[in-house]
Chain A
């Protein structure tokens, strides 16, 4: 009805205008005012561009089609599939999936199990997402793709660095007074080695759309479209730094992942800011984006004013993605996007601000290939999170967000990705289309405490009080798979995979503390504990140390700056000793083994980047993981402690305990399938010859497509 009324009104107005022009056609050009000009020019210009593009696409299509056929001539005849769709659910656990399928809660997964395939998918050593997804895309072991953890270590300083990408400022600067003008763009260097299999497919003329597969930042050039996923930094260059603006007098500093910012009152208004990146003009200052707030206590709302835009939020409500500008001098600055969440307005005014993401519509750093792909998605779907780890687990860990706010953030991001994926599916009627959803990983990490009957972080809750968040998560993913099955034709092969499974993380193991107490790691005189990143470690007397999630390193002479262990026999002997002592390390509280296996990297990896690998991979038992302190190179007094954080589930354990899942809509014959097999399987399905460097083995898929 509303539309009808509007239509009638418009039609009447149009009739009136036409009558006016027809009845009084004096100097007709007088009626072409600029209003008409805008409307006509804008639409004309768009149509004109569309026409040119379409004409170009249509005219050159036969030529390009022939070229594509020529490129595919070696593979086309051998191709067994028209399209392969890979849906990745980061961290989907086969045990939980089986349980929920058996309980009838996952009808679409159960359908795949009965009509196609379902099995466990062996993960990598260690079972960490960047490692496993790197193996997925390259088909090789970490010794060939160079990703062993989220973090690598600097051999000179023993400090960590992000293992997947390195971002440095422009090489050249122009010094003008106090300013240092950057001449050029930041330099981004990808650290993952190896060739993603979609590069080979695209080279052979297979259309490819790849959405948010981890460790695809910086986006590499190939003849397809790709949106980067995990490891894309925020505007500060971190993996996600949230901001809590508060009138509360400063509390404890957040351990990791966030900063506190004061809100100052001035009359009826409040003022605060979002911390941004470092000034590109080299002043050493942090850029800030200021905003003002007005509260309405009666309404329970606050109005945020930033960049001339007014955003009204009720308590417990998120804003849409908003553009944030950080201004520096001389016209320099940075631009990103963020969301506001109004935590409370009374007694204290508190606003949570997400990490400032790279704006996909106007990216300061490329987050897609081609760069226009992220712009295309932003125009089509609106702004969206680009940060690799966009679900702010740290904010929930630090109790800045509560469960509901965190879940709302997760599912909001997930819905954006679903829309991206279904668009990619539509745009790839033949070829290869993949999307990795990481909501499964984040939600399981943060809510396993409600699944585990006796988790220390939820002991005060009775069984009835524990929400079924993970079950709901699996149901949502099942519904998604249902829509995918509906959308794809019978000639499309659907693979649903995960990089690893999940286990409870109830107890923390500080391996650095164990190394210290057992004489492998020494502290400086008078110290019984160390600060973060080995602050008080005496390297001249240290033989082994650990940082990151699963890696254990020898302090090797000639490799580490202050190495004291000789490579060769001494190193091997120390590794054997550590393996023996650590395997079966008993938790005195429960009497169970906290470590079920320690793996010598010389035995499990092969390839040109073996030198960058840890010396040993520690496989924790179910319910255990490296402690938060141990990950950050801190030595504490206790080896074991309860994990009281919301981050209550994990997969950084013995990889044999946490395989991923493999579902398919077609039968798959494979002996102990592993994640490294995906690349060779797909290359073979599209009729390509398999490169000799691949470590995976292709499965036999009983394809119905000829």
Chain B
């Protein structure tokens, strides 16, 4: 649906790195850039003085709990004020947070095409599934593959779910199109076979604009056709970092936070 005008530039620049390291570098660089941009945007879309005051009030009441801990009524009153000050702080942070979040939301969706999934590997089987409107059409469906792709098993029909699935193997790396013909109408789906980072659309949909924007990276299927969706079970990507396996978004979340805290301190920005 949407694609970034630049392919993951970092991947290109670190092509000499092993395929398992390149996505980590991508995530780190993107996180730092996003963390930086985010604090700058936050700076200019927020009431910095009011945020500072709200945070100071919070800290003051926290200290009050500590300083006057023998006075139970003071502690309880301070705790109420902490809750009130937290509400005030969240209210102040809400607008800039909203302004920052929406572009980041779309950015994440786009980056997820590159970093969320791994392409299928050559000589390794993958599943191609088609979802139809009704099960009556299942028997007449034909799969048309390019010469580099081979179906390794007969199609599996799942009438209860109006679904048909094929096991397919690619002989060579590349970007291919497979076609599924139903009721005389052909619908295609892109298949990416690669060992690196590529833009991947795991599903092609007939659905609405918003559904396709968030899920699919391809144009819509014909609305009048019998096929509702075509999907490929690309493996999701796990990134190794600090000895653990990370979903890229979780890693992005942590690293962009760290970068944001760093830049906010450097530029003296209240968040």
Decide yes or no: A373 and B67 within 8 Å by CB, A34-B38, A38-B93, A46-B82 being known contacts.
Answer: yes
Measured between beta carbons, the chain A residues less than 8 angstroms from B140 are none
Are the CB atoms of B63 and A372 closer together than 8 Å?
A: yes
Q: For the complex, is A225 an interface residue (Cβ under 8 Å from B)?
A: yes
Pick from B19-27, B51-59, B160-168 the stretch touching chain A: B51-59
Interface centre among B101, B108, B109 (most CB of A within 10 A): B101
Bound Cα distance from A27 to B108, whole angstroms: 10
A376→B268 CA distance, assembly (Å): 21
Which A residues, 8 to 64, have Cβ-Cβ distances below 8 Å to chain B? 9-10, 13-14, 17, 20, 23-24, 26-27, 29-39, 41-43, 46-47, 49-50, 53-54, 56-58, 60-61, 64
Minimum distance in angstroms from A262 CB to a CB of chain B: 30
B10 on the A face (CB < 8 A)? no
Is A380 close to B, CB under 8 A? yes
Asked if A46 and B71 make an inter-chain contact with CB atoms under 8 angstroms apart, the answer reads no
A43 touching B86 in the complex, CB below 8 Å, given contacts A24-B210, A35-B42 = yes
**Chain A residue contacts of B70, Cβ below 8 A:** 61, 64-65, 68, 207
Option from B72, B79, B94 in Cβ contact (under 8 Å) with A61: B72
Cβ contacts under 8 Å, A657 to chain B? none
User: Whole-angstrom distance between the alpha carbons of A65 and B71 in the complex?
Assistant: 9
Contact status B79-A35, CB under 8 Å:
no
Q: Which of A32, A37, A376, A430 contacts B67 (CB 8 A)?
A: A376
Is there a chain B Cβ closer than 8 Å to A308's Cβ? Answer: yes
* A429 sits at the interface (CB 8 A): yes
- The contact of A379 among B56, B74, B213, by CB within 8 Å, is B56
* B98 contacts A by Cβ under 8 Å: yes
Q: Is B69 an interface residue (CB 8 A)?
A: yes
A427/B68 in contact, CB under 8 A: yes
Chain B residues near A46: list those with CB within 8 A: 58-59, 62, 82, 86, 89
Which residues of chain B from 89 to 142 have a CB within 8 Å of any chain A CB? 89-91, 93-98, 100-101, 104-105, 108-109, 112, 116
Flag whether A375 is at the interface (Cβ < 8 A): yes
Q: Is the CB of B100 within 8 A of A24?
A: no
Complex contacts, B211 vs chain A, CB 8 Å: 24, 26
Q: Smallest distance from the beta carbon of A323 to chain B beta carbons, Å? A: 10
Instruction: Enumerate chain B residues within 8 angstroms of A382, measured Cβ to Cβ.
Output: 56
B190 in the interface (beta carbon within 8 A): no
Segment of B147-155, B180-188, B248-256 in the binding face: B248-256
A370 interfacial by beta-carbon distance below 8 Å: yes
Give Cα A308 to B268, complex, Å: 10
- Report the bound CA distance from A20 to B35 in whole Å: 23
Q: Give the CA-CA distance A198 to B120 in the complex, in Å.
A: 77
Question: Would you call B79 and A33 a contact (CB within 8 A)?
Answer: no
Q: Which residue of B lies closest to A24 (CB)?
A: B214
Give A636 to B158 CA distance when docked, in angstroms. Answer: 114
A49 touches B62 (CB 8 A): yes
Q: Which residue of B lies closest to A51 (CB)?
A: B79
What per-residue 1/0 map shows which CB atoms of A409-428 lie under 8 Å from chain B?
00000000000000000111
CA distance A9 to B99 in the complex (A): 13
Q: Are B260 and A429 closer than 8 Å at their CB atoms?
A: no
Quick check: is B230 within 8 A (CB to CB) of the other chain? no
Candidates B74, B95, B104; contact of A33 at CB < 8 Å: B104
The answer to whether residues A376 and B64 also contact, given A17-B98, A43-B86 and a CB cut-off of 8 A, is yes
Q: How far is the CA of A9 from the CA of B94 in the complex (A)?
A: 11
Tell me which residues across on chain A come within 8 A of B250, comparing CB atoms.
29
- B34: nearest residue on chain A (CB-CB)? A34
Say yes or no: is B5 at the interface (Cβ < 8 Å to chain A).
no
Q: Which residues on B sit within 8 Å (CB–CB) of A9?
A: 95
Contact of B74 among A14, A34, A429 (CB under 8 A): A429
CB distance from A10 to the nearest CB of B (A): 6
Q: Chain A residues near B67 (CB, 8 Å)? A: 225, 370, 372-373, 376, 427
Q: A27-B116, A370-B67 known; A376 and B95 CB under 8 Å?
A: no
Which residue, B55, B68, B93, B108, has most C-beta atoms of chain A within 10 A?
B68
Chain B hits for A378, CB < 8 A: 56
User: What's the Cα separation between A372 and B96 when bound, in Å?
Assistant: 32
- Chain A residues whose CB sits within 8 angstroms of the CB of B83 once the complex forms: 47
Contacts of A60 in B (CB 8 A): 69
A42's partner among B82, B101, B104, B271 (CB-CB below 8 A) is B271
Contacts of B253 in A (CB 8 A): 29, 32-34, 37
Complex Cα gap A61–B63 (Å): 17
Write the A375-399 contact mask toward B (1 if CB under 8 angstroms, else 0): 1111110100000000000000000
- Indicate if B215 sits at the interface (CB-CB under 8 A): yes
Asked whether, in the complex, the Cβ of A57 is within 8 Å of the Cβ of B105, the reply is no
Contacts across chains A and B counted by CB atoms under 8 Å: 166
B65 and A35 within 8 A (CB): no
Nearest to A35 among chain B residues (CB) is: B100
Name which of A26, A34, A57, A376 has the most chain B CB atoms within 10 A of its CB.
Answer: A34
Partner of B69, one of A43, A61, A308, A428: A61
- For A17, the chain B residues whose CB sits under 8 A away are 98, 101
Asked if B271 contacts A38 (CB within 8 A), the reply is yes
Q: Are B62 and A39 in contact (CB under 8 A)?
A: no
Minimum distance in angstroms from A380 CB to a CB of chain B: 4
Whether A13 lies near B98 (C-beta < 8 A) is: yes
The interface residues of chain A lying within 8 Å CB-to-CB of B213 are 24
A582, B13: Cα distance in complex, Å: 93
Q: Does B60 contact A (CB under 8 A)?
A: yes
Q: Among the listed B60, B66, B90, B257, which residue makes an inter-chain contact with A53, where contact means beta carbons less than 8 Å apart?
A: B66
Contacts of A372 in B (CB 8 A): 63, 66-67
The reply to whether B116 and A50 contact each other, CB–CB distance below 8 Å, is no
B61 within 8 A of A: yes
**Which of A36, A57, A426 is close to B97, meaning CB atoms less than 8 Å apart?**
A36
Question: Is the CB–CB distance between A34 and B90 below 8 Å?
Answer: no
Q: Please, how many angstroms separate the alpha-carbon atoms of A428 and B67 in the complex? A: 11
B9 is an interface residue with CB less than 8 A from chain A: no
Interface residues as binary, B192-226 with A (CB distance below 8 Å gives 1, 0 otherwise):
00000000000000000011011100000000000
Decide: B56 and A380 in contact? CB cutoff 8 A. Answer: yes
Docked pose: A17 CA to B65 CA in angstroms:
36
- Closest chain-B Cβ to A391's Cβ sits at a distance in Å of 26
Give the docked Cα–Cα distance between A380 and B256 (Å).
Answer: 31
Taking A24-B214, A38-B93, A308-B268 as contacts, is the C-beta distance between A54 and B65 under 8 angstroms? yes
B145 sits at the interface (CB 8 A)? no
Contact B79 A50 (CB under 8 A): yes
Within 8 Å of chain A (Cβ to Cβ): is B240?
Answer: no
Chain A residues contacting B79 (CB-CB under 8 Å) are 50, 54
Q: Which residues of A contact B108 (CB under 8 A)?
A: 30-31, 33
Which residue of the partner chain A has the closest CB to B94?
A10
Chain A positions 191 through 228: 1 when the CB is less than 8 Å from some CB of chain B, otherwise 0:
00000000000000001000000000000000001000
Q: Please report which residues of chain A, range 496-517, place their CB below 8 angstroms from some CB of chain B when the two chains form the complex.
A: none
Known: A26-B214, A34-B34, A47-B82. A64 touches B101 (CB 8 A): no
Q: Is the CB of A379 within 8 A of B57?
A: yes
Asked if A35 contacts B97 (CB within 8 A), the reply is yes
Query: CA of A428 to CA of B70 in the docked complex: distance in angstroms?
Result: 10
- The reply to whether the CB of B178 lies closer than 8 angstroms to some CB of chain A is no
> In the docked arrangement, what's the CA distance between A43 and B51, Å?
12
CB distance from B267 to the nearest CB of A (A): 9
Decide if B86 touches A47 in the complex (CB within 8 Å).
yes
B144 in contact (CB, < 8 A): no
**In whole angstroms, what is the CA distance A41 to B108 when docked?**
20
- A431 closest partner in B (C-beta): B71
Task: List residues of chain A with CB within 8 A of the CB of B210.
Answer: 23-24
Which B residue's beta carbon lies closest to that of A23? B210
Q: Which residues of B contact A26 (CB under 8 A)?
A: 211, 214-215
Contacts A33-B38, A43-B89 known; 19 new A-B pairs at CB < 8 A: A10-B91, A13-B98, A24-B210, A26-B215, A30-B105, A30-B109, A31-B108, A33-B108, A34-B257, A35-B42, A35-B101, A38-B257, A38-B271, A50-B65, A54-B65, A61-B75, A370-B67, A372-B67, A375-B63
A-B contact pairs, 6 of them (CB 8 A): A13-B94, A24-B213, A376-B64, A378-B56, A379-B56, A380-B57
A-B complex: 8 closest residue pairs judged by Cβ atoms: A380-B60, A33-B104, A379-B60, A35-B100, A376-B63, A34-B256, A379-B56, A39-B93
